[in-house]
Structure 1
């Protein structure tokens, strides 16, 4: 699977949504027990709830309405502002991973976009080739040798691991995210979900055609995390994982 494709799929995972193919998933499962996913039976139930209920009746309809009412330039500006709030966390994690160049870029992006970009409304930094580094504490822990832990499917949020869950809490403590009140935090989460769901509109057919969407997304999640940890150059074994992932496509 192409890295760009995995990147798109992870946006889907972040909101826990997809279009489900009308197949009996029990027939798609085998006797294989994934050691990363000892809670698979529970996780599958949550996955079904996420995309059969939350996505079908809430997230997708709301996203379609959002795309209809709000012009594309305005939606892009909102997404830029939300993403800009994560730049300080990316800066800190760049330092923690001993990536001074990456940290400097994240800091530069935050300063430029928060000032010249009107609080992040415009991504001025990218126009001068200061592209988003997307460093988070999940990657930091991986670099420090901490394992993934259990694979988890979280209601309304999608897939993660115990490491990723803890890391998400830590990243939320950095400035300015740690200063947001509950209403602003909910607003940020909602806008991120809408932006992610919008980007996944063109990818729905792939999930719809998948024999086992749950397993497909799980493999895509682990590949994406590995891709980020190794800055786009994962070990060669990732090629073998891709062939395994392809088993869930027709």
Structure 2
């Protein structure tokens, strides 16, 4: 996968990304086009698949799939804890992974939480944020969704750190593809109600931009400054 800087440069050089007059959202025109594209793909394919998955499974099955998917991400979280200097959290995450992978039958069950070892989630984008790297302008990319140059770089870092991308698994494309699809369907099913609420917003794009910035700032533990070009959030949006 090309680096985030290369991807950003490619979009810029191809004319897809042209800075506009709004410093709060310089690529708004491009972002809105990609937002509409992603929404169209979601409505046509991804959402119906997630709804079908919910229809043919019960809550315990979906919980097990979610646990399994989350467990696969624990080693990556542990590495990012170390990179952020959170050594105790890294140890707890490794402990969670070992317990759930063994006692929890490959992560299908979550006995670690019952033992008081709660799950945390870290990614390389958050790590870059704790190192003081600024996010850069808000972006919406096809099939990626809302992101930023910092988080796009973080995705590249997470892919490099993901054990499934190590040479030992280089011939196991089916495993990687299956894991990705499983994670995607599970995540989309869990967001069905939230996206239905999003569709009720006056301007879903602005709501997503605000929520993305607010969530990432909270994940990193830094203050979030509301965009100056955005209206005050409504009570419904604050509860979204």
Q: TM-score range by the shorter chain?
A: 0.7 to 0.9
User: Structure 2: how far apart are the matches of 1:82 and 1:104?
Assistant: 20
Unpaired stretches in structure 2, ≥5 consecutive residues: 1-19
Asked if structure 1 preserves the Cα contact closer than 8 Å seen for 2:68 and 2:107, the reply is yes
Aligned to 2:26: 38
Aligned to 2:83: 96
User: Structure 2: how far apart are the matches of 1:228 and 1:129?
Assistant: 21
In the alignment, structure 1 residue 160 sits paired with structure 2 residue 147: yes
Q: Which has the higher contact order (CA 8 A, sep 6+)?
A: 1
Q: 1:57 to 1:91 in 2, by over 3 A?
A: same
User: Structure 2: how far apart are the matches of 1:178 and 1:136?
Assistant: 16
**Superposed CA RMSD:** 2.7
1:101-250 alignment runs, 5 A limit: 101-179=88-166, 180=169, 181-230=172-221, 234-235=222-223, 244-246=232-234
Q: 1:131 to 1:38 in 2, by over 3 A?
A: same
Q: 1:32 to 1:244 in 2, by over 3 A?
A: farther
In the alignment, structure 1 residue 70 sits paired with structure 2 residue 61: no
Aligned length: 214
Unpaired stretches in structure 1, ≥5 consecutive residues: 1-30
1:241 Cα deviation (Å)?
11
List 4+ stretches of structure 1 deviating above 4 A: 240-243
- So what's the TM-score if we normalise by structure 1? 0.77
User: Structure 2: how far apart are the matches of 1:222 and 1:86?
Assistant: 23
User: Structure 1: how far apart are the matches of 2:179 and 2:193?
Assistant: 23
1:104 Cα deviation (Å)?
1.1
